[in-house]
């Protein structure tokens, strides 16, 4: 595995889904600093001991730093699994799309052999029979272009062949999807025939199960090459977000009240002013963009 900070950020972003990475990390840091200051002020207010207050606040800061690291590591590991699986599936799908029909058939035969099916024989165009544990199964293969569906007529032909040859179990392998009528026909005869659909996702699971895919290091390298950096727009959207009001407003109130309890500490009131200014800027920014958006809809 490639150890890279930007790659680790990519994993965390994947676990966060729609939440901004910079906003997530900033919130953790701000929350840590906020709690440490709260601890400092409370201890100082109770014991009036500056050294004790600093020590306990530093301990709280260290504990939350460790907790944040565990949180981020957990997100990174979860995102790594999600993203690597996504990249592997996309890579597999692209390779399946590139190979010709004959090579695709060879791949399907190999997958079925890995599953324990023997004596795979061709019985028609894209139609094969195989044996496992004394039972004969039918395999129908469709190598389709993107957007093309397996039609009702194709499914009807498969069911007719299976009925004439007294075969109950079959597999419908396709790179596309089933049409609505084809799905209804399979549903209609599900009590008579056991048809398993093997689409791209199912084929990927089989290939992964039998270790037919490249090593994870291959996908890490692709991610490393494609990984981007944080833009100025990300920074702006992180600070100017109406969601941050749930943090800015309580912080402003807390530090303002703390300045009343500890009038000799001028720093506390300045911190309160800082959060008040951020709150006002966020409200103005939100209302301005909301008005502009409504105006655009009205005129266009």
pLDDT at 2: 45
Of residues 139 and 83, the one with the higher pLDDT is: 139
Averaged pLDDT, 182-196: 90
Note the pTM of the prediction, 2 decimals.
0.59
Q: Structural domains in the chain?
A: 5-97+217-293 (no CATH), 101-198 (3.40.1350.10)
Residues 29-77 pLDDT 10s: 777 877 887 888 788 778 777 788 888 888 888 888 888 888 888 888 8
Which helix (H) or strand (E) element contains residue 129? strand 127-132
Residues 99-158 pLDDT 10s: 888 899 999 999 999 999 998 898 888 899 999 888 899 999 998 877 788 899 989 999
Quickly list DSSP for 42-105. HHHHHH--HHHHHHHHHHHHHHHHHHHHHHHHHHHHHHHHHHHHHHHHHHHHHHHHHS-HHHHH
- Determine how β-strand 169-174 pairs with β-strand 135-142: parallel
Residues 273-295 pLDDT 10s: 777 877 777 777 667 766 655 44
Q: Any idea of the CA torsion for 6, 12, 13, 19, to the nearest 10 degrees?
A: -140
pLDDT at 290: 62
| Cβ-proximal residues to 297 (8 Å cutoff; 6+ apart), any chain | none
């Amino acid at each position: 595995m490639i150890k890279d900070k930007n790659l680790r950020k990519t994993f965390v972003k994947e676990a966060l889904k729609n939440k901004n990475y910079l906003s997530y990390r900033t919130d953790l840091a701000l929350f840590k600093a906020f709690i440490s200051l709260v601890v400092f002020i409370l201890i100082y207010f109770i014991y009036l001991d500056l050294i004790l207050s600093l020590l306990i606040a530093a301990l709280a800061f260290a504990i939350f730093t460790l907790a944040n690291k565990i949180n981020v590591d957990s997100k990174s590991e979860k995102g790594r699994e999600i993203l690597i699986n996504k990249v592997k599936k996309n890579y597999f799908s692209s390779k399946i799309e590139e190979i010709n029909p004959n090579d695709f058939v060879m791949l399907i035969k190999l997958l079925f052999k890995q599953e324990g099916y023997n004596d795979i024989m061709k019985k028609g165009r894209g139609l094969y029979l195989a044996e496992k544990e004394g039972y004969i199964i039918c395999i129908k293969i469709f190598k389709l272009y993107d957007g093309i569906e397996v039609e009702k007529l194709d499914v009807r032909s498969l069911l007719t062949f299976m009925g004439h040859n007294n075969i109950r179990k079959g597999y419908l392998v396709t790179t596309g999807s089933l049409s609505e009528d084809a799905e209804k026909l399979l549903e209609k005869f599900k009590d008579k025939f056991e048809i398993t659909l093997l689409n791209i996702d199912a084929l990927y699971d089989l290939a992964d199960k039998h270790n037919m895919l490249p090593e994870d290091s291959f996908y890490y390298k692709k991610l490393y090459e494609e990984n981007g950096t944080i833009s100025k727009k990300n920074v702006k959207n992180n600070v100017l977000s109406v969601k941050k009001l749930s943090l800015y407003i309580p912080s402003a109130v807390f530090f303002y009240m703390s300045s009343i309890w500890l009038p000799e500490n001028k720093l506390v009131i300045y911190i309160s002013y800082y959060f008040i200014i951020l709150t006002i800027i966020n409200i103005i920014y939100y209302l301005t963009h909301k008005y502009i958006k409504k105006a655009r809809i009205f005129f266009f």
